[in-house]
Structure 1
């Protein structure tokens, strides 16, 4: 299907005006790019809000504020676009008379095909060996095992979740391979996201895996991926918050989050561990490994090992 990609160049005040205009027209799906948002983002109010920022995000500081939305290339879409144009002209005239500055208020209209942007990211997600045994493959790609010992995770993460090939995921799976000792152990995957670590634990033979996630959309994605891998009998995914209490006791807790969240949750993790009490955490920059390690130790754990890959590390601890 073809769409009109409509982009309005304006300023901070103009973004608020244009957003309100679109909402009044019943258009709720639009994207804004605003350098002020980057400044607010970098001036984080909570230390755990982010731990790593891709350099491409910082390019937003040089972007002229703009708003983008899409309309179908149809008669109705053309009428809606024309209506927006007329409303914008009225705003321009009123702004000039009142001396209000909305920036240049210029429109850029491009005709695009939804396949150009909806599925573009899929081109870069191919079957990938993430450990010696594990292969991650997208649902739309074919893959034949090279060896019988290979374990294949089929996953369809959608655009909002990772593909499972990030070093932090690889580190967690390597640690699961190393520390799972029995199929009768229970594994709790905290912040399970797409469910990839839960699926890995089940493929390693664990009969009972619990995946908990605070985001309801992630819960749905994880459940779909569990079903895709035919592991519903071993994995339960549910919405929940570890800090608010869960009726789950596990032999192994795995948490691929970020440094500050790992430190924040470690005390609560301790309450949910039994048996050997293994705690695998990742999403931690190497430069923060000592800080996170000390925090985990202060929550009643002994550090067993720290594994590194590139600028990331995973910390394995055991409850004292």
Structure 2
């Protein structure tokens, strides 16, 4: 019996970090990439990581100690990403993606083929629980505990689809901003997760404030992944009132909280839609923004008040208020 295989393309963005989002988009949309693993922590970031997690009193959770020890001992590169291909045409898809990458002189990359039976171990070893704050932790599905759906401080996620897992700085920053305003948000209010991907941001709003979330994305596969994560996190009756909409059919209404964790040019092109989604006093969380792009986005949304700007690594997120 032939052993099924999958292919990994590893890309080093050290010489061109500005190409990360473009290449990730092309990998999924044009070359049928099935998952993206991002190395977002290296040894010099360990102290920063623990500081950002803001533990007050008590010990650092064991899961975080394990994560820091593991990653501090790995000689990882903060700019290296792995692109996974495990569909029926994985070799051809990876080959075409490799040819695309070759058009960028700044990007070094390598291709390797592995047995499919090694997939889970290869994938899971890089994902650990991520504590955003004392009241919010992102937990991979295989770490879930008994009665996990009743744990409102945890966001459970199926990592590996490239749609937002909490690993990437932009997702983490958006969750930090959500946590920072949770006490002033209205319980049960409406929320928009625009470009929802995995749905992790909307799920956070549901967990923290029982918000009714409209999940919007241009990609049906992203919405399918979002459904998986919603069903993982909530009992069936808790999903009443939540909506998933493909971008072409989306008609904005007014929301108290809007997330848009997407690329800079999309934040600008979709500004009319995002502005139409705000009512007086609404909060808008924008990310997918490189640090040097912050002022451009703030200028583009100059009608709104800047509440906070947070950064991590090369990335920033902006909290605005109408």
The two structures have a TM-score, normalised by structure 1, of 0.64
Q: Is the 8 A contact 1:137 1:143 kept in 2?
A: no
- Counterpart secondary structure, 2:198: coil
In structure 2, how many angstroms separate the alpha carbons of the residues matched to 1:167 and 1:200?
A: 16
For 2:4 and 2:196, the matched residues in 1 are separated by 36
**Structure 2 CA distance for partners of 1:5 and 1:310, relative to 1, 3 Å:** closer
1:263 and 2:268 matched: yes
How far residue 38 of structure 1 moved from its aligned partner, in angstroms, is: 2.4
In 2: Cα distance, 1:258 partner to 1:131 partner: 25
Query: Would the alpha carbon gap of residues 150 and 118 (structure 1) be closer, same or farther in structure 2, given more than 3 Å must change?
Result: closer
Any conservation in 2 of the 1:198–1:235 contact (CA below 8 Å)?
Answer: no
The equivalent residue for 2:157 is: 155
Q: Deviations over 1:122-171 (max 9, x none)?
A: 111122212332111111124589xx997111111334333212221121
Question: Is this contact kept in 2: 1:2–1:114, CA < 8 A?
Answer: no
Q: Does 1:38 align with 2:45?
A: no
| Unmatched tracts of structure 1, length 5 or more | 8-26, 44-54, 69-109
Instruction: Note closer, same or farther for the CA distance 1:133–1:32 as it changes in structure 2 (3 Å cut).
Output: same
Q: Find the residue that maps to 2:298 and give its secondary structure.
A: helix
> Is 1:282 the counterpart of 2:287 in the alignment?
yes
Deviation of 1:270 after TM superposition, in Å, equals: 0.5
User: Match of 2:227?
Assistant: 223
* 1:17 corresponds to: none
Say which SS state the counterpart of residue 228 (structure 2) adopts.
Answer: helix
* Contact 2:178–2:205 under 8 Å retained in 1: yes
Q: 1:219 to 1:227 in 2, by over 3 A?
A: same
Q: Shift of the alpha carbon at 1:119? A: 5.0
When residues 59 and 136 of structure 1 are mapped into structure 2, their CA distance, relative to the original with a 3 A threshold, is same
Check whether the contact 1:186–1:206 (CA below 8 A) recurs between aligned residues: no
Q: What is the SS of the residue equivalent to 1:140?
A: helix
Inter-partner Cα distance in structure 1 for 2:143 and 2:6: 33
Q: Please state if 1:209 is matched with 2:213.
A: yes
Indicate conservation of the 8 Å contact 1:192/1:212, yes or no: yes
Residue 194 of structure 1: CA displacement?
A: 0.5
Q: What corresponds to 1:116 in structure 2?
A: 118
**Structure with greater Cα Rg:** 1
SS for the counterpart of 2:142 is coil
Checking the alignment, whether the CA contact within 8 Å between 1:182 and 1:206 is kept in structure 2 is no
TM-score (norm 2): 0.63
Instruction: Structure 2: state its 5+ residue gaps.
Output: 8-87
1:235 to 231, 242, 259: 242
- Contact kept, 8 Å, 1:161 with 1:194, in 2: the verdict is yes
Q: How many Å apart are 1:4 and its aligned residue?
A: 6.3
Give a deviation string over 1:227-268, Cα, whole Å, max 9, x none: 111141353222224xx7514321111111122222222222
- Number of aligned positions between the proteins: 233
| Residue 176 in structure 1 maps to residue 183 in structure 2 | no
Aligned partners of 2:99, 2:89: CA distance in 1, in Å? 21
Q: Is the 8 A contact 1:255 1:281 kept in 2?
A: yes
Q: Do residues 253 (structure 1) and 255 (structure 2) align?
A: no
Q: 8 Å contact 1:187–1:206 — kept in the other structure?
A: no
For the aligned residue pairs, the C-alpha RMSD in angstroms reads 3.1
Say if 1:6 and 1:114 are closer, same or farther in 2 by CA, change over 3 A. closer
